[in-house]
Structure 1
């Protein structure tokens, strides 16, 4: 398959890239400052232009998106707006603009995270954004068939415990390799409208 991978330079993105390549896929990477194609996916104009550069794709995979973790009393309207723009709206726009460039039986795989189903202190923005992504995917799945869409929703990564572990006390971390396998399951499988929660 020819797969567009957004966020290939991140911790999850690098693992997904390596795993997809090992399975024989042609992976086209997209990033703000690195990758085969440069594109800021938070900019709707650049996302529209992205498709003219890459042509038809068999699958779109997104591992990108940043959200601020802070106590609710410290989160501003701008923090929430930035979180939605960077993680939710960017992925929604990839789907919305990418439909006509995706193979007839192609797929989208987006990323959310555990705060949508198991909230943590300082994770209100993450919970809201991840929940929005998951709700969007379930709704989109009933409209885009036979194209498919799923969301990977991992717990805190083992590889990211030093940076984010304090936000997830007592949570079972998940290995990046397991998250990468979930992306493979979404891309190569037949499911749609699913939230693949890890663990």
Structure 2
């Protein structure tokens, strides 16, 4: 029997590498894609997305674990901050999802990433909340329109333990995160696997 094929976008990152390893352990054929990897794709470059789907065929699922954002105090927010968040996190993932919906095998799965949705909002999180809430709303609404039984979900990872461990104490203190332990990347990866293997559609999954 053919292994199911999954493209992991951002596969060189903390979450992406954990997900790729988990999928391989569960007998999937994994295509590891990133901006600097062997299979290259950049969410800010539509031509690279077209090249990805032209070169990788017969795909059953795609999971995006890439996309960046930043914290900006309310008094310092500029229109450029919103443009950066929309371009780097929202529009790129939506462009990829639109292409995937046309090319995935019947009954396939698309999983995006929204970001750190804070249990207690912290200073500087307004732009991130705007971007991530909007992306989750898009997935929830668009999921009912995808063709050929393709499911569309999104994972909101929260703080990842390995990421927090790489932050300096001063940075964590400034964000009010000195007592936050985070979730292991391997546990976050399970949320993406749940989206790929499950039956949910239009859902936000939090590890």
Q: Which residue, 74, 77, 83 being the options, matches 1:75?
A: 77
Shift of 1:118: 4.8
Structure 1 segment 22-61 matched on structure 2, within 5 A: 22-34=25-37, 36-61=38-63
Q: Relative to 1, partners in 2 of residues 1:132 and 1:172: Cα closer, same or farther, differing over 3 Å? A: farther
TM-score in terms of structure 1 length: 0.91
Deviation above 6 Å: which 4+ runs of structure 1?
none
Shift of 1:16: 0.6
The residue number in structure 2 matching 1:96 is 98
Q: Which residue, 181, 186, 190 being the options, matches 2:190?
A: 181
Report if the CA contact (8 A) 2:118-2:158 is conserved.
Answer: no
The residue number in structure 1 matching 2:23 is 20
Alpha-carbon deviations, 1:99-144, whole Å to 9, x = none? Answer: 1210110000111124377532111221111112111110111101
Q: Counterparts of 2:120 and 2:94 in 1: how far apart (Å)?
A: 23
Unaligned runs of 5+ in 2: none
Q: Counterparts of 2:106 and 2:176 in 1: how far apart (Å)?
A: 40
Matched, 1:191 2:178: no
Q: Counterparts of 1:51 and 1:174 in 2: how far apart (Å)?
A: 32
The number of aligned residues is: 197
Greater radius of gyration (CA): 2
Report if the CA contact (8 A) 2:164-2:181 is conserved.
Answer: no
Structure with more strand by fraction: 1
Alpha-carbon deviations, 1:67-109, whole Å to 9, x = none? Answer: 0112122232222211111111111111111212101100001
Q: Counterparts of 1:139 and 1:165 in 2: how far apart (Å)?
A: 35
**What is the aligned-residue RMSD (CA, Å)?**
1.8
Q: Counterparts of 1:192 and 1:68 in 2: how far apart (Å)?
A: 28
Q: Counterparts of 2:19 and 2:176 in 1: how far apart (Å)?
A: 23
Q: Counterparts of 1:14 and 1:136 in 2: how far apart (Å)?
A: 26
